[in-house]
Copies of this chain bind each other. A is one copy, B any other.
Amino acid sequence: MSPVILGVDPGSRHTGFGVVQGEGNAILHLASGSINPGSRPPLESRLCQIFDGLSDLIRQHCPQAIALEEIFLATNVHSAFVLGQVRGVVLLLAARSAVPIFHYSPLVVKKAVVGYGQASKSQVQLMVRQLLGVEMVDQHAADALAVGMCHLFHSRWPGASP
């Protein structure tokens, strides 16, 4: 059984996604990218785009789990509120698709992927590309792949702990 994980880096303007699979001693990169509703459409349309985009990925890849990067909450109330709205839509999708959802803080993700909780975004990006053997991915996709891999490591998948 090779677990497929959908990693999600939620954001109202850019939501990154990354689908990874633990296969023997390797981690396979199945898909990654970002859903980019931008800042122009009303929020409800953006949420719809994110919901539909992630729904398509679930239909296509049938992940055993969704891994979500916990949003860093020490920002202001308004941005917590906006990000909460995106996260609500991802949680709803998980529940409706009957895919269990797991949450990881940025620190835990960085520790799992880079080995160092204070790693920079570019270090995460570099490790993601090395571990998956992929070319440049955008930052939202890299963060989503990182949280997907983090879940693989944490669910004690036997291979490829960095």
Contacts and interface: CB of A to CB of B under 8 A. Distances in A.
9 closest A-B pairs by beta carbon, nearest first, are A84-B84, A85-B88, A88-B88, A44-B95, A44-B91, A48-B95, A81-B84, A80-B81, A77-B80
Interface of A: 43-45, 47-48, 51, 71, 73-78, 80-89, 91-92, 94-96, 101
Nearest to A82: B84
A51 B84 contact: no
A73 B76 CA distance: 10
Nearest to A100: B44
27 contacts: A43-B91, A44-B91, A44-B92, A44-B94, A44-B101, A45-B95, A47-B88, A47-B95, A48-B95, A51-B92, A71-B81, A73-B78, A74-B77, A75-B77, A76-B77, A77-B80, A78-B80, A80-B81, A80-B84, A81-B81, A81-B84, A81-B87, A85-B87, A85-B91, A88-B89, A89-B89, A89-B92
